[in-house]
Chain A
Amino acid sequence: MRSYVVKRLLQLIPILIGITLLAYLMMYLAGGNAVEAMLENQGVAVSQEVIDARKHELGLDQPFIVQYLNWLGGVLTGDMGVSYISGKDVFQTFVSKLPATIVLTVLSVLLTIAISVPLGILAAVKRNRAVDYAIRALGFIGNSLPNFFVALLLIYVFAVRLGWLPVVSSAIGRTGLASLSLKGAILPTLTLGIAMSAKYTRQIRAAVLDELGKPYVEGARARGVPERTILVKNVLKSCLIMIVTLLALSIGDLLGGTAIVETIFQWDGVGKLAVDSITMRDYPLIEAYVVWMALIYVGVNLVADLLYHYLDPRLRLGGEA
């Protein structure tokens, strides 16, 4: 297990370098425009001298690799410059929006578990019966609906028609976590949860079916072990490892997939921050979003992977996957 952890950590190094390099390269190529955009935002008359002076001031006239290393140092120490628009510290802004996105992600994962685990198991157990077909059909529909359409349909039904829930999630005049309410969280969570559940119900069903098809299940049946016991004590237990890993991985996917939903519901998280920054061409903020979301995603995936290895006794006690 320890050697596996070391191996995984070593594997991360080129990926981390790649992520930061790619993110930096992208902004570097957009760099000239960035300075222009910044100056325009500040109302400075844009001439070539002004741009050059500003580039020198920001160190943008140095060789690429020097700039990259400087910037990388900034990323690691949380010093990523200031927003072109608000003038506030980029890293602080990003961190202040992160909790809202994490809350939304955690709620959605919980909802996904509540929906997809029972449905997945039910579909597997009732394989090729009406229930199974119904669950699979629902999954297929869920997979074919874009999440912004789901969000708008939910708004139409629950906010516009029934008036039970607010259209906009965040309270006016507040930012970050303070603006959120449980009532406002229902629709965004549902939107993300429906899409995720459609995906994971299918996978959980396949995992349970896979397990049910193994020889030991047949052996247990032959010995007269009740079906229920087999299902709960053996099958679910061995599927659990897979389910936990899948859901841990889904957290990473969700964190990166909230931009549209956050924008629709005005949920004050990093996804909305990113879309707003893109609209206003606030490059430092976009850069912070890209780099940190990738780093978080890599971190979450690493944890999921290690968790998988830890939970599976065969892998924990020696053998490699």
Chain B
Amino acid sequence: MAPAGDDSQAKLEALLQERAQAAEKTVRPQRVRRECTQAKLAVFAALAIVLVVVAACASAVVPYDPYAQNLSQALQAPSLEHLSGTDRYGRDLLSRIIMGGQSSIFSTLELVAAITVVGTAVGLVAGWKGGWVDTLIMRVSDVFLAFPGLVFALAVAGVLGGGLQNAVIALAAISWPKYARIVRGLTLAQKNASYLQAARLSGCTTRQLLVRHVLPNIAGPVLVTAVLDIGTMLMELAGLSFLGLGAQPPLAEWGSMMSDNRNLLQTAPWTVVGPGIAIFITVVVFNLLGDTLRDWIDPEHRSTRTGGQGWFSRRSNRRLVGRAIAATEKGDADASASTRKEHV
């Protein structure tokens, strides 16, 4: 009997190994894809960090003084001496672009950080409190979302007067409701999760519940939204500056530089194209970072992007997203009502 036993043992082992290999085979593409996403994430994060660091140390890395005028060098085409050429005052354009990165990138980061924090706080309160607080906050955010495109930001910037800081305020005023809506939806989805009930039963205060449990669970999607917004906000901020409602010359800022050099398009196109390419590269880097971050945090999304469900992508119309969120919330509210009944 012994050999037979050995034999069946060996067979069983072989079978198990085969199964394991088969499982490995189906798992591997996912794992490879995830490792690939991680590698991409590292590359794009590094690029973004390089941009931010260069912008932060702008005054140390610029080859020339970005504000020093030298009329004898005015409107030089790009050369080895001036890699991006010079503007009408003979200022080195590359230096101005690097210096402009400081104003453009940092005011954008400041803007995105502000609307993320404010929107998250407001959304958390709305989702957690519910009732009239929620209704009021959502109606107010509806009103802000009812202004199309830059209309409201234009008016706010106009009323406040020019200046980069005012442009940031104007854009923040119209952008926070989006975050409030997203966070509210996410909070509602978490509100009745069993882990929260467990935490509550074990004596967590509301503050602990929100900060320790809810916030970490909703941080992923919020972070992705924020990183993806950096590019859009950078372009909108530069747009306001382009219209003269943001940074004012002589401050080096990409949007106002392009506006300033607009009438040189015929004679010195590099004065316009240089800052434009700087905006483009920055937006591309942050958009790639955001896309990859989303794939990493939410691998499910990959399947929806390359097929599967969910026709609206991240840039889809605010209203449609809002409607979808509202629909899920409705479902959640119903579900929570029924669970509450069950518990009673």
On A, residues with C-beta under 8 Å from B are 14-15, 18-19, 21-23, 26-27, 29-30, 127-128, 140-141, 143-149, 152-153, 155-156, 160, 199, 202-203, 206-207, 209-210, 212-213, 242, 246, 249-250, 252-257, 259-260, 263-264, 274-275, 277-279, 281, 283, 286-287, 289-290, 293-294, 296-298, 301, 321
Contact = CB atoms under 8 A, between A and B. Distances in A.
Contacts of A202: 313, 315
Interface stretch (B31-39, B48-56, B71-79, B276-284): B276-284
Given A253-B317, A259-B154, 6 more contacts: A143-B287, A146-B239, A202-B313, A252-B148, A256-B151, A257-B149
Interface stretch (B19-27, B94-102, B139-147, B209-217): B139-147
Contacts of A274: 151, 154-155
Nearest to B244: A279
B146 A18 contact: yes
A123 B317 CA distance: 21
Contacts of A279: 244
A260 B243 contact: yes
Interface string B249-267: 0000001001100100110
A15 B142 contact: yes
In order of increasing CB-CB distance, the 5 nearest A-B pairs are A256-B148, A18-B143, A278-B158, A256-B149, A257-B149
Given A29-B159, A253-B149, A293-B148, A278 B245 contact: yes
A278 B149 CA distance: 17
Interface stretch (B182-190, B219-227, B301-309): B301-309
A235 to B, nearest CB: 12
Most B Cβ at <10 Å: residue of A147, A199, A209? A209
Nearest to B269: A156
B61 interface: no
The secondary-structure label for the interface of chain A is: helix
Given A206-B311, A256-B148, A145 B243 contact: no
A21 B139 CA distance: 13
B152 to A, nearest CB: 6
A256 B145 CA distance: 12
Contacts of A29: 159
B44 interface: no
A292 to B, nearest CB: 10
A199 B258 CA distance: 24
A29 B155 CA distance: 13
Most B Cβ at <10 Å: residue of A153, A250, A260? A260
B272 A203 contact: no
B279 A301 contact: no
A14 B138 CA distance: 11
Contacts of B304: 206
B239 A147 contact: yes
B143 A15 contact: yes
B224 to A, nearest CB: 16
